[in-house]
Chains A and B, each alone.
Chain A
Amino acid sequence: MALTIAVCIKPVPDSEYYNKITIDPVTKRLNRDGIPTVINSMDKNAIEAALRLREKHGGRVLAFSMAPDTAIENLKRVLAMGVDEAYLCSDRVLGGADTWATSYTLYKAIEKTGPVDLVIMGNQTEDGGTAQVPSQLGEWMGVPHLANVIALDYEDGGMVVKTKADRGTIRYSLKLPAVLAVTRDCNEPRIPSVMDILKVGKKPMRILRAQDLDLNPDFIGIKGSPTQAGEIYSPDMSRKSEALVGDPDEIALRILDELRKAGISIG
């Protein structure tokens, strides 16, 4: 059976630049100026997993993202990787969503574009990083869902999945439709070639506004989010940073001395 697979993509600030993120002391807003936006790393694993299933079993891969219009650039990259169609849910009223409202909006967008057999997502983002959206999307859809997926395959009309557990691994079988969240152990995402990038222009990409989605206004954006964001701050972790100097042996003695003073017993 050919599979229709949805992948969910979140554009995030590039983690290489996290040291440049500051908080404006007056507005208390996050300042991300000059920090490029990239596709969340594990979402590339999700795309790769979906493409491999399509290559093996046939079908289509559709990408969904809830983000501002600028995310078009990120979705072009997603299409270059080999995804067939991309949908961007972008509307001011969707902003400020927590995971509950985010998963609802993604659910409605996927429902709108037609039934899918499988949803593959990243296990966790690099910015908010709650790892909550996949299970919550699975609940909205009312289908089996698993997180921490490290291997997956489609067999006999269902998925066979391996997940990383706290003390080992678990193998599951799931009937479709299902939602799976994959980790970076799942695969090595491909890098698009120039040819792939040239094909992007021909692929369908659509922006979905709130009115296109039959949304319950009480379930979206800040209003629909059970959690509210309060103050944000940068934790001050600085310590005295006293330099230990001398030749290596002198430094070694100083370190051992400090260990003893801190209550570590050394022979």
Chain B
Amino acid sequence: MDLENCRGIMVYCEIDVCGIIDNSLELIGHANTLKEKMEHYPEVTAVIIGSDVGSLITVAARHGADRVIMMDNPRYRVYRPDLYSDALAAAAEKYRPEILLVGASLSGEEIGPTVAMKLHTGMAAHCVELKIRDDGQFVQVVPAFGGKVLGDILCPGFRPQMASMKAGMVSKRIFEGKVAEIESFDPDVRGFGDRLQVIETIPETRKRVSLSNAELVVTGGFGIGTQEGWDKLEHMAELLHGVSTCTRPALDAGWTDKEETMVGTSGVAIKPKVYLGFGVSGAAHHTCGIKGAGLIISVNRDANAPIFEVSDFKVVSDWEAIVNAITARLEATSAVCPDPDRA
């Protein structure tokens, strides 16, 4: 799209069984932060694509949407990347935003670049920061080489300027009592027609671990070494009421099957009050996911482990000795009052 008559920030709202996902709500909040730095103080528009999703309008408004474009049609009942991409591209063509933000979820990664192609514009992927420069230019900061390097991406000549961002990079904002303007939009989209068909959608049955509100995160790396070791670490995490997370090698080793708790470039970014890491070497792929942590404490037996550089406190030790000692301390306390739920 060319630069003529483009205005405002559009955010694509991704939906799951529980409603609009946090990733999208965070982006609506962040769009408000951006708009406050933009000269003409433009509108933040949320686009909701789905079937029977009217109840989500207030959710989008409460999180900062000035306007909600409702694309509510039974054809969107089951997610199909081609239909959703066509729908979002049609909305962008009609409402002509300057900026279009998409969550860097698996489906966002399908829809985003497809829409960028349809609109003939650029897209910056997995941004770690989105900001408006003093001269008004929108700057998209992207990671490369697993987060070892960051680069600014600009898209001055095309609109909308598209960007994706992973969950957890920015925070949600609440706008109590905010009312959004509502528009229904129902273009005739067909995607690839019968050239692409969904045979079945198989939902995950296991309840996912949520990391967005975790205050204490205990991360185990490949240095944990065995399943027994892993179970011991998880036990300590439970005693601390913390959430256990992992590095990619620990997940690959099969010690945990909670892939949603893998932290880093190909996993999640977290911002707990405290990150407590054991047997984690500190590769950029992993550490780029923990830079939002308030406090970083790590235990590694190698005094030169790169994780120490990015830690507030370091412990050069075998992980097990420390975990045993913490566990013993906690069990001594909880022996007095074994069931914390009753307290």
Closest to A253 in B: B329
The B-contacting residues of A in range 88-137, CB under 8 angstroms, are 98-100, 103, 124, 126-133, 135-136
Separation of A237 and B16 alpha carbons in the complex (Å): 34
A260 → B minimal CB distance (Å): 10
CB <8 Å contact, A227 and B124: yes
Q: From the candidates A171, A174, A244, A259, name the one contacting B195 in the complex (CB within 8 A).
A: A174
Q: Would you list the 7 A-B pairs with minimal beta carbon distance, nearest first?
A: A226-B122, A230-B152, A227-B122, A252-B325, A130-B125, A132-B113, A139-B117
Interface membership of B297, Cβ < 8 A: yes
Cross-chain contact of A165 among B79, B240, B313 (Cβ < 8 A) = B79
B337 touches A267 (CB 8 A): yes
- Asked if A243 and B284 make an inter-chain contact with CB atoms under 8 angstroms apart, the answer reads no
Assess whether A227 is in contact with B313, with CB atoms less than 8 Å apart.
no
Of A129, A146, A174, A258, most B-chain CB atoms within 10 Å: A129
Once the chains bind, are B113 and A136 in contact (CB under 8 Å)? yes
Chain B residues whose CB sits within 8 angstroms of the CB of A202 once the complex forms? none
**Neighbour of B314 across the interface among A143, A147, A232, A241, CB < 8 A:** A241
**Bound Cα distance A193, B241 (Å):** 51
| Residue of A with least CB distance to B137 | A230
User: CA–CA, A127 to B144, complex, Å?
Assistant: 6
Residues of chain A within 8 A of B118, CB atoms compared: 139
Interface presence of B19 (CB below 8 A):
no
- Report the separation of the CA atoms of residues A165 and B296 in the bound assembly, to the nearest whole angstrom: 32
Closest to A139 in B: B117
Q: Who on chain B is nearest to A177 by CB? A: B195
- B interface list, Cβ under 8 A from A: 14, 16-17, 21, 79, 81-82, 105-107, 109-110, 112-114, 116-118, 120-126, 139, 142-158, 192, 194-204, 208, 215-216, 239-242, 265-266, 273-274, 276, 283-285, 287-288, 291, 294-297, 306, 308-317, 321-322, 324-326, 328-330, 333-334, 337, 340
Interface residues of A in 212-233 (CB under 8 A from B): 225-233
CB <8 Å contact, A242 and B312: yes
Cβ distance A265 to chain B, nearest Cβ, rounded Å: 8
Say how far B162's CB is from chain A's closest CB, in angstroms: 9
- Are B144 and A173 in contact, CB atoms less than 8 angstroms apart? no
Chain B residues near A129 (CB-CB < 8 A): 125-126, 143-144, 146, 265
Mostly, the A contact residues are mixed
Within 8 Å CB of B276, what residues of A? 255, 259
On whether the beta carbons of A252 and B116 are closer than 8 Å, the reply is no
**Are B324 and A248 closer than 8 Å at their CB atoms?**
yes
- Give the contacts of A18-35 with B (CB-CB under 8 A): 18-19, 21, 23, 30
- Shortest CB-to-CB span from A153 to chain B, Å, is 12
Q: How far is the CB of A79 from chain B (nearest CB, A)?
A: 27
User: In whole angstroms, what is the CA distance A168 to B207 when docked?
Assistant: 11
Please name the residue on chain A nearest to B215 by beta carbon: A264
Which of B123, B283, B321, B337 has the most chain A CB atoms closer than 10 A to its own CB? B123
CA distance A263 to B215 in the complex (A): 9
Residue from the list A127, A136, A263 in contact with B114, Cβ < 8 A: A136
